[in-house]
Structure 1
Amino acid sequence: MHRTERLMAKKDDIEQLIAKLDLAPHQEGGYYRRTFQSANQPMLITADGPRFCMTSIFYLLTQDSPTGHFHLNKSDIVHYYHLGDAIEYTLIYPDGTLNTIVMGSDVIAGQSLQLQVPGGIWKASRLMAGSAGFGLISEAVTPGFDYADMEMGNRQKLSEQFPEHSQVIVGLTEG
């Protein structure tokens, strides 16, 4: 099989995965679908209104959409790696500390199967080069995810807030 044929076959496989999991484009990049919300539990009352106790999503990065741009969530999130290529997460803490974690199946090489990100931390993700052409994770969010609790990263604002990380910020934010 020629290189072009392999790339087209891989793209077809990824499109089938997106269709099979019923994923839609996400505003931060990649694809997602909410798979669970704790509808049988009482709603949590937060300062911003009622929230499900927990929600969960599938989240997929692909060669065509390889970046989850910087964003901040108020809720705590646990990420679970499933399959495909490794995904690199970049976290910026309120004090300016920068941390990079690679989620993937090669635990012996230091990759993580789980990643906990407390609310209030800027995070971005990017698909690492590999043979699959995609990386699939799940996220469990508590209190449950609500768009009102998420802020997309503004390149200029983040670079002013964390000038020591401006090069990283430029690569992981839109325009």
Structure 2
Amino acid sequence: MNPAAADWIARLGLAPHPEGGWFARIHTDARLVDTPAGPRAAATSIHYLLDRRSPVGRFHRNRSDILHYLQSGGPVDYWLLEADGSVRRVTLGLAPNQQLFLHVPGGVWKASVLHEPADHALVSEVVTPGFDYTDHEFLTLETLHADYPRHAGSLAAFVRPG
């Protein structure tokens, strides 16, 4: 593991994330809001890190909106599967054609991939209403092929095995 990634993992107390990469929840708002799925914290926040050992965050979606802020390293590519069947790639990084911030609406499939030759990307995320595992879903290969057949071959590597 590169020194920068190891330092962030130790400094922030990051643990392996089920999507890939590393994470730690850093905030849960004490206020609750009603949602169709039940009460949720008004907002939650995590630190999320991809590195060379775990360079991919597998396709998943949440009911809530997620705001992503690049904190260190990068660039990192985000692949978004839109409801109309289109695919959009957004790169978080420091170059003029890259962004420091990304908003992903609830219900949109997303994957993140550490951009070559970066050795890490540390992103902070804010979820509104707050994250709850019952609002989270991993993309399957069957859904990828059924809903995004034009892109299934190029994006299958970003789907969690099993």
The answer, yes or no, to whether TM exceeds 0.5 is: yes
Whether 1:158 and 2:118 are equivalent positions in the alignment is no
Match of 2:39 among 50, 57, 61: 50
Give 1:130 shift: 2.5
State the match for 1:72 in structure 2: 61
1:7-64 Cα deviation digits (max 9, x unpaired):
xxx634422320111001110100111111111x2x1111211100001110100000
1:135-150 correspondence runs (5 A): 135-150=121-136
1:8-47 correspondence runs (5 A): 11-39=2-30, 41=31, 43-47=32-36
State the match for 1:174 in structure 2: 160
**What are structure 2's unaligned runs of at least 5 residues?**
none
Letter of the 1:29 counterpart? G
The answer to whether the 8 A contact 2:57-2:111 is kept is yes
More strand by share: 2
Relative to the length of structure 1, the TM-score reads 0.88
**What are structure 1's unaligned runs of at least 5 residues?**
1-9
SS in 2 for 1:164: coil
The range that moved more, 23-32 or 164-173, is: 164-173
Give 1:165 shift: 1.0
Aligned residues with identical type, % of pairs: 41
Larger Rg: 1
1:106-117 correspondence runs (5 A): 106=95, 108=96, 110-117=97-104
In the alignment of these two chains, the number of paired residues is: 161
Relative to the length of structure 2, the TM-score reads 0.94
Deviation beyond 3 Å, 4+ runs, structure 1? none
Letter of the 1:99 counterpart? R
Counterparts of 2:89 and 2:83 in 1: how far apart (Å)? 15
Counterparts of 1:58 and 1:92 in 2: how far apart (Å)? 23
Match of 1:122 among 86, 109, 120: 109
